[in-house]
Chain A
Amino acid sequence: MNLGHLSDLYRQLILDHAQHPHHRGQLATANQTVNLNNPTCGDVIELSVELKNDRVADIAFNGDGCSISQASASMMTDLVKGQPIAQVRAEIATFLEMLMNDPEVEGADELGDAAILATVVKFPARIKCATLAWKALEQALGEAQQHE
């Protein structure tokens, strides 16, 4: 059975993150938490973020989902931990643009491991899996702003 096409989606790096996700859990120090689900499929993410001195000081996630959604959350937490909030906002925008419009968007190479998720564009049914964590983070930062 020829599954060659599938390796485009499930690169080894994605499988590694999915099987051994980074920053899984809950933060005792969190000052923002967001629960987001994908109502079409039931994937759930619970993101906890500690924002301090205009930075994402710490971040962790829990939840249940497919390998794409788990890998994406793991890669995202690797990328944004310790970064200034303004930079994280720009990266979220770049990532969403990459998945939803332009897989070769400018700045994609600055997304760390998450840049590899551009391959998901070839599997339109799976784009929402890849964007769930990023949308949760976008919401967490948005809510933090409202409270400022």
Chain B
Amino acid sequence: MVKDIATARNDFPILSQQINGQPLTYLDNAATTQKPRSVIDALTHYYEFDNANIHRGVYTLAERATEQYEQVRQQVADFIHADRDEIVFTRGTTTSLNWIALGFGAQVLQPGDDIIITVMEHHSNLVPWQQVALQTGANLRYVELTADGELDLAQYRQLLSKKTKIVAFTHVSNVLGTINPVQLMTQLAHEVGAYVVVDGAQAVGHFPVDMTSLDCDFYAFSGHKVYGPTGVGVLYGKREWLKKMNPVEFGGEMINLVQREITDFKAAPEKFEAGTMPIAQVIGLGAALTYIQKIGWSTIETQERRVTAAAYQLLKEIPGVEIYGPEMGPHRSALVTFNLKGVHPHDLATVLDTQGVAVRAGHHCAQPLMQTLGVSATTRASFGLYNQLSDVKRLAAAVRAAKEFFQV
């Protein structure tokens, strides 16, 4: 296991390959992160030695699988400072947010109530609320941006009222990199009696996240963005709200007793986990959280800040580059979104790809935000714990090469 962050890259087998004859410079970590050997091994080990369906068998193998699965629930709870019965496993952040919107939002909203979201939301924390608003007759209100790419908190305060039932916002913007003041926004929402839902997809894995201090009512994140497998996510909800929340999916294992006409559901979190869950992926998520903890938050945060600051600076120095979101500082997380004047992001990304540099180009599933920024697409470089200054230098050199190629 890693002691030194400089060798962390070696823990990720995929990063040792060449792409288009160049070393892979993977800068699309906000889309998904790569997996360390320990996570890949945990998945293989599970399938080679421990595979059985959980909570059902009376045999030893089933016991073993169940025990490992439930251990990860405790591990996730400890990781975000919650209790085990407040942790529901899902398919990912999108599923978590949909379940909160449909299973809880739809239950508490009345016609004329307000749902407050923000213009920087990913579609996964926007479309579910739009749909629930249509279903319930509630109104959708947007918190807008300030000129420096942060949420306009003065306007947010004005939006809050006795009519506000739900406030849903992202912890970290997947486009702007803005770290939002969750604690303050939650406190203000609670003052008017609203429930707070936080999309943590871009936060967990980059810095410690603590449910006791954030005090939000619901929190969602994905396994595959924290060095774990795809197909598993987490829905955190305060115990009393999970008790109130309805399951959205029904089936095996979530029930106490099924009769011909009615069914008695299990308590949370089991009542939400219908059918066979992604058992291997949950166990892989456990291995990923263990990996993060072994490297340690201060090491991860220091490295990501260093790399992000270098990217911000090197890109800013290139004439024609426009960077979106807050200045480099405590309100910016580990990504830089930008455009090169005169070159469409797709063309730029193709040039970068020929240099082995993988970035995201497009609308980043945030079309209302793109409209607000007045652009149709942008290019995003997003970082993980294994990125080095050399990756950032390759990025900047490739952007300069694109500028030369397209003669802009």
Interface residues, chain A, with chain B CB atoms under 8 Å away: 1, 3, 5-6, 9-10, 15, 40-44, 64-68, 123, 125-126, 129
Instruction: Tell me whether B361 and A41 are in contact (CB under 8 A).
Output: yes
Instruction: Tell me whether B363 and A66 are in contact (CB under 8 A).
Output: no
Looking at A5, A41, A126, A129, the one whose CB has the most chain B CB atoms below 10 A away is A41
Instruction: Tell me whether A66 and B351 are in contact (CB under 8 A).
Output: no
- Complex-state Cα separation, A68 to B20, whole angstroms: 21
Instruction: Tell me whether A42 and B367 are in contact (CB under 8 A).
Output: yes
- Complex-state Cα separation, A123 to B20, whole angstroms: 12
Say yes or no: is B327 at the interface (Cβ < 8 Å to chain A). no
Looking at B346, B350, B361, the one whose CB has the most chain A CB atoms below 10 A away is B346
Distance between B372 CB and nearest chain A CB, rounded to angstroms: 14
Instruction: Tell me whether B362 and A1 are in contact (CB under 8 A).
Output: no
Contact residues in A for B398 (Cβ distance below 8 Å): 1
List 11 additional A-B contacts (Cβ < 8 Å) besides A41-B363, A65-B344, A125-B353.
A3-B354, A5-B354, A40-B362, A41-B361, A42-B377, A44-B376, A65-B376, A67-B347, A67-B406, A126-B350, A129-B346
Say yes or no: is B373 at the interface (Cβ < 8 Å to chain A). no
Please give me the residue from chain B that is nearest to A41 by CB atom. B362
Distance between A1 CB and nearest chain B CB, rounded to angstroms: 4
Contact of A1 among B367, B370, B397 (CB under 8 A): B397
Interface of B is mostly: helix
Instruction: Tell me whether A64 and B376 are in contact (CB under 8 A).
Output: yes
Contact residues in B for A44 (Cβ distance below 8 Å): 376
Contact of B347 among A40, A42, A64, A66 (CB under 8 A): A66
Say yes or no: is B153 at the interface (Cβ < 8 Å to chain A). no
Q: List 28 A-B contacts (CB under 8 A).
A: A3-B354, A5-B20, A6-B350, A6-B351, A6-B354, A6-B405, A10-B406, A40-B362, A41-B361, A41-B362, A41-B363, A41-B377, A42-B363, A42-B367, A42-B370, A42-B377, A43-B376, A43-B377, A65-B376, A66-B344, A66-B345, A66-B346, A66-B347, A67-B347, A67-B406, A68-B346, A68-B347, A126-B350
Instruction: Tell me whether B362 and A9 are in contact (CB under 8 A).
Output: no
Contact of B350 among A9, A43, A65 (CB under 8 A): A9
- Complex-state Cα separation, A43 to B376, whole angstroms: 7
Contact residues in A for B370 (Cβ distance below 8 Å): 42
Contact residues in B for A9 (Cβ distance below 8 Å): 350
- Complex-state Cα separation, A130 to B355, whole angstroms: 22
Contact residues in B for A66 (Cβ distance below 8 Å): 344-347
Contact residues in A for B351 (Cβ distance below 8 Å): 3, 6
Instruction: Tell me whether A1 and B401 are in contact (CB under 8 A).
Output: yes
Instruction: Tell me whether A42 and B401 are in contact (CB under 8 A).
Output: no
Instruction: Tell me whether B405 and A41 are in contact (CB under 8 A).
Output: no
Contact residues in B for A5 (Cβ distance below 8 Å): 20, 354
Contact residues in A for B406 (Cβ distance below 8 Å): 10, 15, 67
- Complex-state Cα separation, A31 to B157, whole angstroms: 49
Contact of A3 among B344, B363, B401 (CB under 8 A): B401
Please give me the residue from chain B that is nearest to A40 by CB atom. B362
Instruction: Tell me whether A3 and B347 are in contact (CB under 8 A).
Output: no
Residues 105-127 (chain B) with a chain A CB within 8 angstroms: none
Contact residues in A for B376 (Cβ distance below 8 Å): 42-44, 64-65
Contact with A along B372-407 (1 / 0, CB 8 A): 000011000000000000000000011001000110
Please give me the residue from chain B that is nearest to A64 by CB atom. B376
Distance between A24 CB and nearest chain B CB, rounded to angstroms: 15
Distance between B352 CB and nearest chain A CB, rounded to angstroms: 11
- Complex-state Cα separation, A58 to B361, whole angstroms: 33
- Complex-state Cα separation, A7 to B64, whole angstroms: 57
- Complex-state Cα separation, A40 to B364, whole angstroms: 9
Distance between B76 CB and nearest chain A CB, rounded to angstroms: 32
